[in-house]
Structures are given as structure tokens and as C-alpha cells.
Amino acid sequence: MNVLYGVGFVAACLIALLMTPVVKRFAFRVGAVDAPNHRKVHSRIMPRLGGLAIFTAFVGAYLVISPAIGSINTDVALGLLTGGTIIVIVGALDDRFDLSPKVKLLGQLIAASIVVYSGAVIDLVNVPFGDTTISLTWLAIPLTIFWIVGVTNAINFIDGLDGLSAGVSGIATTTILVLAVMMGNVTVVLLSVILLGSIVGFLFYNFHPAKIFMGDSGSLFLGFSLATLSILGFKQATVLSLLVPIMILGVPLSDTFFAILRRWVNNLPISKPDKSHLHHCLLQLGFSHRVTVLIIYGVASVFGLSAVLLSYMSERQVIWGMVVMIAVLLAILVLGAEAIGIISQTKKPVLRFLQKVRELRSTDTRMPK
């Protein structure tokens, strides 16, 4: 079985390596290109549609390897492939024609509904420290669709630097793969392996300096796939373990949260694009393009490692482990966000509070006793 997974990874990687140059030429031919502007980091016209290479590699590797693995859940696998096809079509059309947000959202809702219809639904929650099981009943479907659409767009939002979205998605996919192996979930292991191979093959052309962008066809497909795989792997988990997929996707979800908060604080429409995402802030601090991407890779790896450690904890350890882990991660996120100005360059209440505390302590030490 392990050999088959290896074959699937290699097949996906090779198909992506072979297809990306073909897709690059096709993108130039049909005019699916990304021109530089005040919000973009690149300075020359770049081909988009790289997501077609990732998707082709994913589907091709699945068709090669899935017949040899008889224990996979074909219904949910086909749900991911069918929904992914719709996502890639919508993304590719947006790469070429710049679709309206409403049209893209409609495509995402249809794709998410297909996954739900295939059986991938967050339907039960098992309460820890007991045998109580809570059925989400009518909340199950809207909650699942909300999760899929939210993660899909979160990955799309961080697609701002060469190799950033692909690399962060690769780290998240690796984390899901490790946890799926721990749980013996054959379907998620197979899908994660071939998705990871597709990402790695594409990264050869997408890491800085990139020769092609993945475009919305790629970022939307990766987000959609990660959302679906996280549901398949953790659809019936304890209340605390429901935070595991959130931690796995900590970088894109936190960047999306900070983007919404930033626009709310500055009285801007939530949908208004800006140049204050995490990668923009790191670039403004003086880090190079490649170093910025590697820093975010490191942050994503910390989130992924935290999710794995949490899953290794026993039931008795998990509450205190989760409390400590969440407290540390939140403190790092809040202090880091204010330090780099991802929410606001002027409104930094936590850092100002800490500065006042430091000043008060300095005053106390200087006072005569």
C-alpha cells in the first residue's frame, strides 16, 4: 500500500512538471495573464491558469492509482473531483475574464453542495470526557458549505507572492496527510498524497522567481480541496479536536480574519482589496521576496506541528494542552499582527498597553524607597 501511495505522489509530481509549461503557453495564447499594478508585487506580465496543471496532475494521478486501492470511499472522492472541476472552470474563467465576485461565489456554492451531496458533511460532534454525541441536524449542511467556501477564499486571499499559496497549501496538505495516516483514513491519505505531488511539481515553476502564477484556478482549487479533505478527516471529532483543521489552516484563516478586522477598523468595505496582508507587511519591513515566503512557510509549519501534537495528546492531556497552545498562539498572533501593522499602522492597543506597563515598572524602580 505504501508503494502505491509513493507511485501516486510521483505520478502527480511528474504530470504537474510536464503540464505546467504547456499551460503556460496556453495562458499566453488565450490572454490569461496578470499585468502589474499598484497592488501587485511583480513587475512584468505573467501567465496565469497554473491551476489547470495542478488539477490535471491531481485527476491524472487519481485515475492511475485509485483502481489499485479498493478501500477508498469513491463517492466522496468523486464529489471532490466533480466539485473541483467546477471550481477550476470558474477560476480559469476568472483568470481570463475577471468574473464578478457574485458569479465566483455561485460557483463555489455549487461545488460545495456537490461535496455535501457526496456525503462529506460535518454532521456529528462527540463531546469529550463522555459518550454524548450531538447531532447538528439542520445546521450540518450550512456549516459544511460555510467551511468549504470560507477556506476556499482564504487560500485565494494569500496568493500574493511567488510560491506562497502553493507552499502554504503543501504544508497544510502534509499535516492532513500525517493525521490521516495516524487515523488510518485511506481515502484522505490517497487524496492528500496526490494533491501534495501536484503542488510540489507545480512549485518547480512557481517558487520565486516564478515562471507562471497559479491564478484563481489554482488557489480556489487548493482551498476547496483542503476544506474538503479536512472535513473527510475530522467530520466526527471531539469538540476540542474540531479546532485541529482550523490550526492546520492557521495562516490563511488568520490572514483572512485580520483582513476583515483591518477593513472594519478603517471603515472600508470588507470586499475591498488592499496591500496590507501578511506578506505585504513583511515586505514593507524590508524582508526580501523569498525570505518573506520562507517566514510564512515557517509560521504555517508551526500551526501544522501544533495540530499534530494536539492529536497525539491523550484525552486527559488535551484540555490543558489546548488551553496552553491556544493561549501561546493567540499571543503570538496578536503581538505579531500589531508589530507589523497588519490591522492598523496607528491603532496598536496591546503594544501600547505593554509599553505603559513597562514605563510604570521603570518609574517604580527609579523611585526612592
Over residues 267-294, the mean pLDDT reads 81
What's the sign of the alpha-carbon dihedral 201, 204, 205, 209?
positive
Find the domain containing 90 and state its range: 2-366
- The residues with which 238 forms a beta bridge, in sequence order, are 126
Percent of the chain that is helix, strand, coil (3-state, to 5)? 75, 5, 25
Residue 114, H or E segment: helix 101-118
How many structural domains comprise the chain?
A: 1
Q: How far is residue 236's CA from residue 309's CA, in Å, rounded to a whole number?
A: 19
Does the annotation flag 37 for ligand binding? no
Q: How far is residue 322's CA from residue 242's CA, in Å, rounded to a whole number?
A: 11
**Largest CA-CA distance found in the chain, in angstroms, rounded:** 81
Q: Which amino acid is at 175?
A: T
Does the annotation flag 156 for ligand binding? yes
Q: How far is residue 235's CA from residue 217's CA, in Å, rounded to a whole number?
A: 26
**Given this model, what pLDDT does residue 132 score?**
55
For the stretch 345-364, pLDDT in tens is: 677 777 777 777 777 776 65
Crossing angle of helices 315-340 and 250-265, rounded to 10°: 50
Looking at 34-43, 128-137, 286-295, which range is the least confident one? 128-137
Over residues 322-347, the mean pLDDT reads 72
Dihedral through CA 177, CA 182, CA 186, CA 190, nearest 10? Answer: 20
**Given this model, what pLDDT does residue 183 score?**
84
Give 254's contacts (C-beta < 8 A, 6+ positions apart): 333
For the stretch 5-53, pLDDT in tens is: 999 999 999 999 999 999 999 999 999 998 776 555 656 789 999 999 9
Q: How far is residue 236's CA from residue 319's CA, in Å, rounded to a whole number?
A: 18
Give 178's contacts (C-beta < 8 A, 6+ positions apart): 308
Q: Is the pLDDT of residue 369 over 70?
A: no
Q: How far is residue 20's CA from residue 203's CA, in Å, rounded to a whole number?
A: 10
Beta strands 124-126 and 133-135: pairing type?
Answer: antiparallel
C-alpha distances in Å from residue 149, one per residue of 22, 66, 82, 228: 30, 27, 16, 10
Over residues 108-123, the mean pLDDT reads 91
How many CB atoms sit inside 10 A of residue 63's CB? Answer: 12
